[in-house]
C-alpha cells in the first residue's frame, strides 16, 4: 500500500465521459472544504480530469466499469486517489517527450500525462492484489492553515 492517507470523501461513478463534470464538481467542492488555495484546487481538478479521461477512454475503452475517486488532505498536501478495474496502466511510467530531438526521432507523448505531471507535485501508482489501478495525485499547499 503506497497511499495510507485517509480520504474525507468518496465518489464512485460509471465509466462515461458525461460523468466528468460531476467528478470535477465533487473534487473542487471537497477540496475547497480542506483549503482556501484556489490555484492548487484548480490544478488538481484539471490533473484528475485528465486521469479519469484516460481511464474512461484508454482503460475501459468507453465500456462500463466502476471508477472510485477519493479526496483528502494530509498535513500540507491535497490528494486525490483514483481507483479502477481496467487493465493495468501506469501513467507515471509513460515516456517523457524529448523535445531536443529532431522531429522524426521523437517518440510521441500524450498531452494528458504531461498535464498531470505539470499540475501535481507527486503521482503515485500501484496495481493492487485485487486487480485495481490506484493512482494518487498529490498537490502541495504550502502555508495552508485551513
Cα dihedral value 126, 77, 31, 38, nearest 10: -130
Q: Which stretch binds another protein (CB under 8 A): 5-13, 20-28, 81-89, 129-137?
A: 20-28
Residue 119 in contact with another protein, rule: CB under 8 A: yes
Rounded Cα distance between 92 and 47, Å, is 13
Binding residues for another protein restricted to 124-143, rule: CB under 8 A: none
Among residues 114, 126, 140, 144, the one that binds another protein under rule CB under 8 A: 114
At 70 the three-state DSSP class reads strand
Among residues 2, 18, 64, 143, the one that binds another protein under rule CB under 8 A: 18
Rounded Cα distance between 114 and 109, Å, is 8
60 is written with which cell numbers? 475501459
Count of residues in the chain: 146
Residue 50 in contact with another protein, rule: CB under 8 A: yes
Q: Which stretch binds another protein (CB under 8 A): 4-12, 71-79, 86-94, 95-103?
A: 95-103
Rounded Cα distance between 20 and 13, Å, is 9
Site string for another protein, 53-92 (x = CB under 8 A): xx-xxx----------------------------------
Rounded Cα distance between 92 and 24, Å, is 21
Query: Binding residues for another protein, per CB under 8 A?
Result: 17-18, 20-21, 24, 42, 46, 49-50, 53-54, 56-58, 97, 99, 103, 106, 108-112, 114-115, 118-119
Amino acid at each position: 500500500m503506497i497511499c495510507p492517507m485517509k480520504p474525507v470523501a468518496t465518489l464512485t461513478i460509471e465509466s462515461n465521459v458525461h460523468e466528468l463534470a460531476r467528478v470535477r464538481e465533487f473534487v473542487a467542492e471537497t477540496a475547497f472544504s480542506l483549503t482556501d488555495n484556489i490555484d492548487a484546487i484548480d490544478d488538481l481538478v484539471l490533473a484528475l480530469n485528465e486521469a479519469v479521461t484516460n481511464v474512461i477512454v484508454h482503460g475501459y475503452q468507453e465500456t462500463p466499469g466502476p471508477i472510485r475517486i477519493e479526496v483528502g488532505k494530509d498535513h500540507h498536501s491535497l490528494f486525490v486517489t483514483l481507483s479502477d478495474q481496467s487493465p493495468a496502466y501506469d501513467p507515471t511510467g509513460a515516456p517523457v517527450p524529448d523535445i531536443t530531438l529532431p522531429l522524426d526521432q521523437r517518440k510521441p507523448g500524450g498531452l494528458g500525462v504531461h498535464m498531470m505531471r505539470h499540475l501535481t507535485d507527486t503521482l503515485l501508482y500501484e496495481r493492487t492484489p485485487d486487480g485495481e489501478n490506484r493512482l494518487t495525485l498529490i498537490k502541495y499547499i504550502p502555508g495552508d492553515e485551513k
